[in-house]
Amino acid sequence: MFKMFKNNRGFTLIEMLIVLMIISVLIILIVPNLGDKSADVNDTGCEALAKMVESQVALYQLEEGSLPDDLNDLVDQYITEDQTSCSNGALVLNADGTVSVPGEAPAQ
């Protein structure tokens, strides 16, 4: 009536525990490194935004014949309100037409 399965295939509890332990160790090693990268991503994003706003300052200078007094002169026609700051702080227009974020070294 009942047939005995002679060829049972599957994972034992010990094999499953070993696999879970290996996955846990990998997660413990990888997750802390991901947290360190978010600051680098924010810095790179701010540098890119500053360079883009600098190009809009140059366009303003070509069209108007002079540098803008501040970034608010660029809002609406050249940049949006959101592009006057990034996660590191508000962008600042320097006297030479370059754009920087206070507290950071100027981008080269």
Dihedral (C-alpha) 11, 13, 16, 20: value to the nearest 10 degrees?
Answer: 170
Give the residue from 89, 90, 94 showing the smallest Cα distance to 54: 94
Pure H helices in the chain: 13-64
Residue-range definition of the domain harbouring residue 54: 38-100
Q: Residue 16: inside a domain, yes or no?
A: no
Q: Residue 28: inside a domain, yes or no?
A: no
The Cα diameter of the chain in Å comes to 97
Q: Residue 84: inside a domain, yes or no?
A: yes
What is the domain count for the chain? 1
Whether the pTM exceeds 0.75: the reply is no
Average pLDDT over residues 81-92: 82
- Give residue-wise pLDDT tens across range 1-22: 556 656 667 778 899 999 999 9
Q: Residue 15: inside a domain, yes or no?
A: no
Q: Residue 55: inside a domain, yes or no?
A: yes
Q: Residue 60: inside a domain, yes or no?
A: yes
Q: Residue 3: inside a domain, yes or no?
A: no
- Give residue-wise pLDDT tens across range 90-102: 888 887 888 887 7
Q: How does residue 74 score in pLDDT terms, banded at 50, 70 and 90?
A: confident
- SS3 percent helix, strand, coil of the chain, rounded to 5, is 55, 10, 35
Position of tokens 């949006």?
80
Average pLDDT over residues 66-78: 86
What's the confidence (pLDDT) of residue 107? Answer: 46
- Give residue-wise pLDDT tens across range 17-43: 999 999 999 999 888 777 777 777 777
